[in-house]
Chain A
Amino acid sequence: MPSAPSKLYSDDVSLLVVTLDTNPFFWSTFSFPFSEFLSHVLAFLNSILLLSQLNQVVVIATGCNSCTYLYDSSSDKNHGSTTGSMPSLYSDLLHNLEVFLAGDQQLAKPRVNAAGGGAPPPSLLSGSLSMALCYIQRAFRSGPIHPQPRILCLQGSADGPEQYVAIMNSIFSAQHSTVPIDSCYIGSNNSAFLQQASYITGGIYYRPPHLDGLFQYFSTVFATDLHSRAFLRLPKSVGVDFRASCFCHKQTIDMGYVCSVCLSIFCEHHDKCSTCGSVFGQAQSNVPSSTDRKRKA
């Protein structure tokens, strides 16, 4: 289905890039079954395609070792193997997901053997966001007329602070190309990364409390195209967690040191900025002495 020039893209035609969290460690411990989740998502994707003939859906899997494109509604490579009970969208997507999971498992590092109780590895959200943005860039460059792109992150696993810089870079590049990042976070705590992503790019962040009605949330909140959003009152993010991760230990911090040259964030004092190499002056060891010095001056 190549984009023929005769296609009339109006302002409410969407290119929806969905990143799907396929972190096995999350799903195997989460109360809401993955199969249920998938049925809601599949129904939602289908309804997006039904909303307009020109709508386009791309699904990207966010694994913990790799990411991949699972489905592209404009691609020719879809098998179209309509088995009795399933539309081709579903069967293709599920088939690709199986292949992806097998590959992802092979990439898994041996450290997972320490199954005793380590925290589950986070999903590679930064990777899937980058892939989504790459896809959208291709759409932007395909010609002057293209569908309105947006990204929807379906995320469940907790944030990986070590991906902070990569995710923030993706967020800013999305902001730069005015691509909103919507996020539907189904985990138990709010995701600071996704909150910031949606806040900065002007997307919607929502954490649905009733997961059995997931489809309803999808269709009410996340199905709205960018044009219609101007007329609708959608959930607004309140209480965005703007905390950053330090560059040295990848920990989420409330307060820290910031390089005055490149704005890198550190949780403790360093002699030299690890990012730009600027040499810092003496740290003020304790507050009283510093005020002392000021008073003497």
Chain B
Amino acid sequence: MSSGKVVKKAKYKATVKDPGTPGILVLTEEKFVFKPNDPTSSNKLEVDFKFIKSHKHTKEGSNKPPWLNLTHSQGSYIFELETFSDLHVCRELVGIALSKHGEAAKVVSEEQLSAAEMGQRIKLLQEDSKLQKLHKELVASGKLTESEFWATKKQLLDRVENRKTKQQIGFKNSLIFDTKPTSDGRINQVKFQLTPEIKYQIFALKPAVHQAFLNFVPSKMSEVDFWNKYFKAEYLHSTKNAVAAAAEAAEDEDLAVFLKDDEILEIEARKKVRRVDPTLDMEADQGDDYTHLPDHGIFRDGTKEISEAQNSLYRRTLLQDLNRQGAVVLEGKTLDIEMENPRAAAEVLARRKQESDGVLEDERHNRISKMTQIEDLQAQDDHRFAPLCIKDPRDYFDSQQVNAVKALDDSQAGMEKIKCSLSSEEAYSFLRDSIYKIKASGLRDPLFSPEVALKVLNELTKNISSTKSHIGKHSQDSVLDILPTSTKEKLLDHWVCSQELLRHFWSSYPITTQNLANKTRRLKDAISQVYSKLEEIKVSAKSDLRHQVSLIVHPMQQALDAALLHYDADIRKRNAKGAKPNGF
């Protein structure tokens, strides 16, 4: 063990059920090797510990043989050792080996991507040619690793992921009122198939049943009894016999609950009416409603039945059913509801109703306050506060554009103060003299010559049209377009590239691990490469364009310079500090 090598007899099992291939297991701190006794066997193994994620083993005293289980990303290697003491020896070494590879293993595991993620990246690269170019430039040349590159592009990946929104499955748009019974035809018995889904749907559709379920089950009756009663009531409806339904209801008050026209539905209908625009006169429209008149409204079973008014309580029209179904389907379904337990489902539904009721009430208040505002009845609304004026941020940058381009020397040069050598006496008397002058001679006549006016107008026109182009709203007027296309392309590429590099560079500070130190060294090299390339562009530009090019290149180089300076300073500081316990 001290030599860091353990050789034991063991059986390799691909799965738990596998009887196992007998052989020799050799463990070192770097890797483990399994050689089967039968040299023809294909179960030869040689695996680095860096691919192993964790290890498990069976406990001594349990009824299982001494197994050592090494998990990797796709499955696990199981070795059956001869004794538990062998197992302990192996386990210890594996523990050491794994802790040693721990950090490395983590990095590697980042690289191991699911196929889906890989596909997403490839798709992104295919869709975006610019990104592809950048990827080629940075990753292919080894300036950044694959995972480093994508770490900053997480947003892009997420966006792709978000695009496939999980669609919520709503209710089936079939009338579950018609849960048809099955009958084998031999005995006088019918069977109803009830799934949790259907139960939930019944609760949603019929608040009375929902309420009854909450009240009765399981205190008053069992769930089976409840559904028996419900379907009995349904059956009475389907026999088209309103009179019979009324009779049954009179006998069994529990049953009556199902047969009565849902009071709760009515309350809901009233709520809905309240949601209607308050200025709409509902009563005036009532004349248009024929359904309450005899001979109107088709019943669900297609018959037109005229029965006594007193039984109308127990009738439901097809129209009502359809409306109710439509309303429930539109309301949608609560996600993550536990369908299996009807009691829980019923409770969730009740809770949701309450919530939506609260919202409705607020909505109604808002509506009424909005609608009832009739201008001439309102007190004069003198706005005590002016509306907040938020400027378009683009405006700000437009107004700053010239400042950015204009060299500082301009403002600096004009800054020297005008020295005033006159005393106040002299100054005031000078001003008074001017006034006397104008009083005496009147205004100049003509005020100014037409030539001056023309000059002013020309200058104003030029100024206004030039600001337009200055502001860069029209890209065709930008400085970049003066340059030859190849130079422009190169500049843009370098710009994108250096932005990416700088983003990576600055995000790796402060340096805490060797990985980051390596990364910054790589990035520094890449940055200095880009820097020299920019320098080349600057030098190679034609003399008439050189100034423009250097204007563009200058800020890019400045940004790169800052990074290089920071790198050097950081290195120097760390060297000066000497090695710290963990090296950083």
Contact = CB atoms under 8 A, between A and B. Distances in A.
Interface of B: 386, 389, 398-403, 406, 411, 414-415, 417-424, 426-428, 430-432, 434-435, 437-439, 442-444, 447-448, 452-453, 455-457, 459-460, 463-464, 467-468, 470-471, 510, 573
Contacts of A210: 452, 455-456, 459
A25 B428 CA distance: 8
14 contacts: A24-B424, A28-B426, A34-B430, A36-B444, A40-B447, A94-B439, A101-B428, A117-B419, A119-B417, A158-B418, A188-B414, A235-B467, A240-B400, A292-B573
B460 A221 contact: yes
A75 interface: no
B432 A101 contact: yes
A103 to B, nearest CB: 11
Contacts of B419: 117, 119
A39 interface: yes
Given A210-B452, A215-B448, A216-B456, A90 B467 contact: no
Contacts of A238: 398-399, 401-402, 467, 470-471
A24 B435 CA distance: 12
A115 B456 CA distance: 37
B385 to A, nearest CB: 9
For chain A, the bracket of interface size reads: 35 or more
Contacts of A35: 434-435, 437-438
Given A112-B424, A238-B402, A233 B459 contact: no
A38 B433 CA distance: 13
Interface of A: 22, 24-29, 33-36, 38-40, 42-43, 85-86, 90-91, 94, 97-98, 101, 104-105, 108, 112-113, 115-120, 158, 175-178, 188-189, 199, 208-210, 212-217, 220-221, 233-242, 288, 291-292, 294-295
Nearest to B512: A295
Given A94-B435, A115-B423, A213-B455, A237 B399 contact: yes
Closest 10 CB pairs of A and B: A239-B402, A24-B427, A213-B456, A120-B420, A112-B424, A189-B414, A34-B434, A216-B456, A238-B402, A213-B452
B435 A98 contact: yes
Contacts of A235: 460, 463-464, 467
B460 A220 contact: yes
A28 B430 contact: yes
A39 to B, nearest CB: 4
A43 B443 contact: yes
Count chain B CB atoms within 10 A of each CB in A36, A43, A97, A239 and give the residue with the most.
A239
B510 A295 contact: yes
Given A24-B430, A25-B422, A105-B424, A239 B448 contact: no
A213 B438 contact: no
Given A24-B424, A295-B510, 11 more contacts: A28-B431, A86-B442, A98-B432, A115-B421, A119-B417, A119-B419, A119-B420, A209-B459, A237-B399, A238-B471, A239-B402
Contacts of A288: 573
Nearest to B445: A39
B487 to A, nearest CB: 27
A291 B510 CA distance: 9
B457 A236 contact: no
A97 B421 CA distance: 24
A212 B456 CA distance: 9
B460 A178 contact: no
A239 B401 contact: yes
A199 B399 contact: yes
Contact of A117 (B401, B421, B471): B421
Count chain B CB atoms within 10 A of each CB in A112, A118, A241 and give the residue with the most.
A112
A236 B420 contact: no
A177 B387 CA distance: 9
A265 to B, nearest CB: 18
Contacts of B418: 26, 29, 119-120, 158, 188
Contact of B452 (A120, A216, A240): A216
B415 to A, nearest CB: 7
A117 B420 CA distance: 6
A290 B338 CA distance: 55
A236 B468 CA distance: 9
A38 B434 contact: yes
A234 B448 CA distance: 22
Given A94-B438, A98-B432, A175-B389, A212 B452 contact: yes
Count chain B CB atoms within 10 A of each CB in A22, A115, A208 and give the residue with the most.
A115
B430 A27 contact: yes
A108 B424 CA distance: 8
Contacts of B455: 210, 213
A164 B295 CA distance: 84
A24 B430 CA distance: 7
A22 B434 CA distance: 11
Nearest to A104: B428
Nearest to B413: A189
Count chain A CB atoms within 10 A of each CB in B399, B420, B447, B455 and give the residue with the most.
B420
A215 B403 contact: no
Nearest to A201: B389
Nearest to A195: B399
A231 B456 CA distance: 21
Nearest to A215: B447
